[in-house]
Structure 1
Amino acid sequence: MWGLLPDMAAKRAALSPGATAFVEDAGGRVWTFAEIDDAAARMGAGLRALGLAPGDRVAALSFNRVEMFVALFAAQKAGLILVPLNWRLTAEELAEQAEIVAPALLLHDAQHHDAAKALAQGRQIPRAALEGGPRGAADLLATPDPLPPAQVPADRPWYLLFTSGSTGRPQAVVQTAGMGWAAAVNAAQAMDLTAADRTVNYLPLFHTAGVNLFTLPVFLWGGTTRVLPRFDAERLLALLEEGAASVFFGVPSVWHDFAAHVGAARPDWSAIRCASGGAALPERLIRDFAAKGALIRSGYGMTETGPTCFIMQADRVEAKPRAVGRVQALTEVRLDGVPDGAPGEGEVWLRGPAITPGYWEGPDAIRPATDAEGWLRTGDVARRDAEGDHEIVGRLRDMFVSGGENVWPAEIERVLCAHPDVAEAAVIAVPDDRLGEVGHAFVEPRAGHCIAPETLSEWCRARLAGYKVPRGFTEAQSLPRTASGKIRKPALKDWPR
């Protein structure tokens, strides 16, 4: 769709040089767009001076900080590829990611000094501290001759994001400038972004939500982002109460934590345009927050497609709390086996400039993620209604057959999450001699509540066909999750039942 695109930082600095781009929550430092562009241009030149060439990977092991966005824009200017690493991983898991991307440099913050040192020594990777020190950020930013602005190839790899790795070997998904602009357009038109908007960056930058929901779109539209090192419910609620965000995104676990917090009612939610994604948000939570004034718009996307493919319309949230709305401006959707635009149910296929070119397998080896016509088959099944709104039914690989009937765990999970004592639920298939497979539910109680498992079967039987009712229930105080907050269902296969 696009050939060459503007240098993001340079273009925004040209449009509003003195406006505030970022505020560091720890310390309160304010960065204007001109300062971000200058810092990125100097860091890009400094990285080149270290001997890094276009296409080289720069890994980063750090909590969220403004310098991470400087590094992201520096990589775009210098033709390098930033690789934010998952700081929650073990040393062995980090080494596996490093083996896949073969970084030429490792950036890190003070909190991850030891982990970075061990990773760098194990693979002989040069490293630099983001806080400064020898060959640190201060030296990189002191480069006397910053890189000049230059157009950016839309499909050139810009940064890599690893998928959660919940099954099999992690895959590094290529992200491009074209994807960034497309995701931003989708977000901006769905959330009505303007230069007056404010958001808070706190989700990990090794996930697409950390970059694209809504920090990069707000940056490109000229708004302001306050950066927190990581999720802190108390601090976030305080910032929302202070008016630090006019647009806000939270994964379901964030909304669950907010709901359990005594300060959940403090912000003026009616003044904040809210969204959620990454997994289904229980209908009960959507209605509870709507009563507080927060209309949480559910959305849908993937690391491979950008996170803003679908975002529900705010005025329809209460009428259709399970829907993710309509496909956004720069994304096309097809439901496999369903005529275009018609109601029906099928696997979600997506196409457009927000879709990744593929998976990183080396400098000259990117494995395509799409078919010959550009469609990416997501593996998720959606149902489209007569008004064009979509509801995610579940994952194809999660569906199981019980006594000849197809069973979608997501449907059962929604029913369980409506129970007054249940915060979250995960249903998996387990073998059964007579029926082949049956469901087993793992349920996480709401804060301050106790679950009587024997009542859950009755609850489900009143709301589901008999073949959908789980044959067993296990209470879990904390379900296993990925760093993006999704429940790791494969891990539940080995849990005691």
Structure 2
Amino acid sequence: MRNAGLGGWPARRAQMSPNRTAFVFADRSVSYSEVHERTTRLASRLRDAGVRAGDRVAYLGHNHVAFAETLFATHLLGGIFVPLNFRLTAPEIAYMLTDSGASLLVYAPECSAVVRALPALPGLRTVVALGSPAPGETEFESWLSQGDPTPIDIPVALDDVALILYTSGTTGRPKGAMLSHANLVWNCFHMLIGVDVASTEVTLVSAPLFHVAALNQTLLPTFLKGGTSVIMPSWDVDQCYDLIEKHRVTWMFGVTAMFAAFARSPRWAHADLSSLRTLMSGGAAIPVALIRAYQERGLTFCQGYGLTETSPGATFLEAGESERKVGSAGVPVFFANVRVVRPDLTPAAVGEPGEVLVQGPNVTPGYWRNPEATAAALTEGGWFHSGDIGVLDDEGHLHIVDRVKDMYISGGENVYPAEVENVLFEHPAVAEAAVVGVPDQRWGEVGRAFVVPRAGAAVTPGDLREFLLSRLAKYKIPVYFDIVGALPKTGSGKIRKPDLRGRPLAAGTEAGTEE
């Protein structure tokens, strides 16, 4: 087989384990042999539509088996897959389709209104609908079924670009991070090493697949090993409990908001979670109090650290260290290197905050058609500047402190919002918290906390301030507290802090004193 990339995986898996279940979606199970046949037929239809090596194929929709089929079919032809955030508006989607130069779009019914609102895009030649197509569009299933099942073997090199993943766009226009087939393969190796992924793995894919973690940390490693991916269309706490019990799920990934909601459920205390072997989180530091809640439930909780640009795994805390090093993001994954440096790029001392740099075969070759951004992010030797602040302890474990851009300076002292959020999360009435720096005439900047109370709980700014006083230095305690119903989030579940910084101080926002 001349295809060294992901496009060859369905054929290889079908040869090794044809009758094993690759995907479960709703009441449907799909074997590896079926995945191979369907992706081959779909690839032939993409080829008929003019897709060639290097061409971009976009997908817009909730998690679905068709997402994986479109990815593998695109890679079978040597094309580049562009997963899009289904929470975005038509102008945002139009920008990404134009910037990537996508010639074909597959979309799901829940995104039909957005697709209908797209302006005319000259480069977008074919639009395929999973649901009822509009005039000029094609219906996915009937189109696929008419495809040619004859095997396709087009040369694809590991260094060829496989994905363009657009960043969340929390500041300015989103950038398209390129990931090669080699990036994805090496990341899978890291997961197989760090999690001991088994051929009998039953993985719950509950985070959005357009996000690098759900795709590269769960679905692809599970497929590579011949396990089963149980795909949730979107996150739902009760459905998560149901699927874990029904399919005896062994492994799942989530972000803080997902794991917090799961632990707040009335089902938490009594649900049968005995099948779960590994729970995994990454993307942002997760409060230690939340990790402890899972450990007290008898569950193994492993945290990692990474970014879209690192495919994403850069560090990982393996199960054996998950209790002793709780709160740590672990050590560098097996084939990568991680440094923590000062602004002059000299190594930070043990316990000294600095920027996290990552080097290895999992690191992006750069940003799509954006050489300036690539040059700014990648320094000599292929070190990627993460923009995150971390510290290394005396055993080389990484602890993520915050984003460089989220840190603020109050009265000459650095304040890391993630530290304050961690402490706020320990309050029994707090479900979620986000802290940002806001201008202050006296101190330069002070903290403003946005707090979501737990269901049925009441909390006041005074309660929170009193709680923090015995736990944090006074300069770290927010001056303003907003009690809110929800926090704005990106498609990957991260809190959109620029949205919070832009909110004017409103009635009910309580200010304290700074000493």
SS in 2 for 1:214: helix
CA distance in 2, matches of 1:243, 1:341: 47
**1:325 is aligned with what amino acid?**
G
Q: Which residue of 2 aligns with 1:93?
A: 92
Shift of 1:35: 1.7
Greater shift in the superposed pair: 423-432 or 314-323: 314-323
Structure 1 SS opposite 2:71: helix
Q: Which amino acid aligns with 1:46?
A: R
1:130 is aligned to 2:143: no
Question: Could you give the per-residue CA deviations for residues 153-190 of structure 1, whole angstroms, max 9, x where no partner exists?
Answer: 12212121111111110111112211111111111111
1:158-307 mapped onto 2 (5 Å cutoff): 158-265=162-269, 266-269=271-274, 271-307=276-312
In the aligned structure 2, how far is the partner of 1:270 from the partner of 1:291?
16
Pair 1:481 & 2:489 matched: yes
1:456 aligns with one of 461, 464, 480 = 464
What does 1:12-31 align with in structure 2 at a 5 Å threshold?
12-25=13-26, 28-31=27-30
- Corresponding residue of 1:331: 336
2:161 maps to what in 1?
157
**How far off is 1:39 after superposition?**
1.6
Deviates more, 1:286-295 or 1:5-14: 5-14
Note the C-alpha offset of 1:12: 2.1
Q: Distance in 1 between matches of 2:407 and 2:353?
A: 14
Q: What SS is found at the alignment partner of 1:47?
A: helix
Letter in 1 for 2:111: H
Aligned residues of 2:105 and 2:126 also touching (Cα < 8 A): yes
Residues 187 and 312 in structure 2, CA contact (< 8 A), matched pair in contact too = yes
- Is 2:15 the counterpart of 1:11? no
Structure 1 position 344, deviation (Å): 4.5
Change (3 A) 1:281 1:365: closer
Whole-Å separation in 1 of the counterparts to 2:86 and 2:482: 30
Aligned twin of 1:469: 477
Distance 1:365 1:276 in 2: 32
CA distance in 1, matches of 2:67, 2:441: 53
Partner of 1:381 in structure 2? 389
Give the whole-Å Cα distance in 2 for the aligned partners of 1:420 and 1:56. Answer: 52
Deviation at 1:235, TM superposition (A): 0.9
Q: Is the 8 A contact 1:10 1:149 kept in 2?
A: no
Q: CA deviation at 1:92?
A: 1.9
2:44 alignment partner in structure 1: 45
Distance 1:288 1:40 in 2: 42
Distance 2:155 2:11 in 1: 10
Matched, 1:437 2:442: no
Shifted more, 313-322 versus 279-288: the winner is 313-322
User: Matched residue of 1:213: which SS?
Assistant: helix
Distance in 2 (CA, whole Å) between partners of 1:244 and 1:203 is 18
What's the offset of the Cα at 1:202? 2.7
Change (3 A) 1:489 1:181: same
314-323 vs 46-55, which moves further:
314-323
Q: Given the superposition, is the C-alpha separation of residues 449 and 164 from structure 1 closer, same or farther in structure 2, using an over 3 Å criterion? A: same
User: Deviations 1:39-86 (Å, cap 9, x if unpaired)?
Assistant: 212211211111222222111122211121011011111011121221
1:321 deviation in Å? 2.4
- The 5 A counterparts of 1:63-142 are 63-119=62-118, 121=120, 125-130=125-130, 134=138, 136-142=140-146
Amino acid corresponding to residue 286 of structure 1 in structure 2: I
2:24–2:228 Cα contact (<8 Å) kept:
yes
In 1, distance between residues paired with 2:354 and 2:249?
37
What residue number does 2:408 align with? 400
Q: Greater shift after overlay, 28-37 or 223-232?
A: 28-37
Length-normalised TM-score, structure 2? 0.90
Say whether 1:309 aligns with 2:310: no
Matches of 2:45 and 2:119, distance apart in 1? 20
- Report the RMSD for the aligned CA atoms in angstroms: 2.3
1:414 corresponding residue in structure 2: 422
> What is the CA deviation profile of residues 237-294 of structure 1, one whole-angstrom value per residue up to 9, with x for unaligned ones?
1111224411111111111111221122303246431111222222221111212112
Supply the distance in 1 between the matched residues of 2:322 and 2:273 (Cα, whole angstroms). 18
Per-residue CA deviations over 1:346-371 (Å, capped at 9, x if unaligned) read 21100111111111128x99945422
If the length of structure 1 is used for normalisation, what is the TM-score?
0.93
- Secondary structure class of the residue paired with 1:45: helix
Contact 2:176/2:368, CA 8 A, preserved across alignment: yes
Q: Quick check: 2:348–2:354 contact (8 Å CA) kept in 1?
A: no
Query: Which whole-Å CA distance do the structure 2 matches of 1:110 and 1:137 have between them?
Result: 13
The equivalent residue for 2:323 is: 318
Say which SS state the counterpart of residue 358 (structure 2) adopts: strand
Note the C-alpha offset of 1:300: 0.9
